[in-house]
A and B are shown apart, each in its own frame.
Chain A
Amino acid sequence: MKVTIDGIEIDVPKGTTILQAARMIGPEVAPPAMCYYTKLKTSGGYCRTCIVKVTQGSTANPNPMPKPVASCRTEVMDGMVVENNTSPEIIEARKGVVEFLLINHPLDCPICDQAGECKLQDLGFQNGSSKTRYEFKRREFEEIDIGDKIKLHMTRCILCYRCVKTADQITNDRVHGVIARGDESEISTYIENIIDNDFSGNVIDVCPVGALTDKTFRFKQRVWFTKPVDAKRDCKTCCGKTRVWLKGEEVVRVTARKDQWDEVEEFICNACRFDHKKKSDWVIEGPSPIHRNSVISQNHYEHLNELKVQIMKQQKALGFMPIDKQP
């Protein structure tokens, strides 16, 4: 099926959504997504940040769709023409969506542990307005402990449902969900039922904001003072491939590896995440790729990987091998 997004044509299989097709083209045209998560079934369709304009429905029916559609839930049709960043209407509409998402979100980024790797922060920075028009009291909640390792701060939650889907699909028993409706709705563990599952820690990684945080990392360091490295260990329950965040010799935090869409590559178990906080527990593979626009690249080491590749290339071109690889 041929689909044109922002003037770029791509051939995709049937059943692909507009968002997936746009991601195949690249980050230049991919709409932002707050609730959609490739690895979680039935996710998406809540936040409306990924709205796009469909100017031509298909070759068979070239009429435009009457209003912006959520690209994560809309499948492509043959000959569909989609406008994302090229449509001023969409940019304006997305600004409105961001404003709505931020209505109840406390602007406490200086306190929040997620700051620096927060998708809502990025979204607000790229698509939002620099001022808030909201003058009323934002909703506030007491912090809740979900187990002894996870903290839920509902005040920051944007109700993307990702953690609920994770609890549903990754873990065996669903012990938390969303109660109440609309403005009242909140993530609940069914009266503070402790999540007792090997993979429950993954709700921290899927949370796009700082609502679910790691209690072993809470307020320890700002993310941009830590250095992420890809590391692995032999783990019986999970793949053991993680990202270890170092501050000097200290392991301050362990998370799953994330791809360029900020989605977890492979979910990791709680033992890896919470209990192995020694550098000797891990085999370090190398620095994690960090986008140069990210504040984490303030560590000035983001090019180490590239540098290594380039040095190897030059060594090859000059015709000599590194000492340790010489026969």
Chain B
Amino acid sequence: MLNYLWGIMIVLGITVGVLRGEIGEVSKATINSSKEAVTLCITMLGIMAMWTGIMQVAKKCGLVASFTKALRPFLRVLYPSIPKDHVVNEYIASNMIANILGLGWAATPMGLMAMKELKKINQDSEVASCDMCTLLIINISSLQLIPVNVIAYRSQYGSVNPAEILGAGLIATLCSTCVGFAFSVIARKLSYRNGHR
């Protein structure tokens, strides 16, 4: 995906630059942008390390595990057909918590493990089960407590108060997750009626 996207951006940008006679600016931008990426990463090193550090503290003292447990009632509504003590519950909950806490890189492996278990439950079918659809929709709706990256970028570009967007962002992500939640539950009911599993 990125191969095409990146290639087209470069080719298109330089072509337009030549046509509009801005090639000097383009040349400067190429050099400056690469330097800028590194400066940005230095800011991000600090904020990201601060975040993963505090999350490790939360993990070690059992807070993350108790958050995961608190998700149980929601999971029962979202995945009514999965047996209560099935291991996949654990994976799904960990995936959700990692997303909520802004640990995207930790979320993906857990999500993939959950998918593989759901595949077994789905008897290796090529058609997605309702559980799989729900997992993806809830995942995409991206309930996130603190968008650490966005805060890092804002502070790098001189925001007076990088965290001021947290409240508004939280409401937006809550709304989209509620819609995803409702959609998943309704779509499951409808597909049961049509004989899908």
Partners in one complex: no
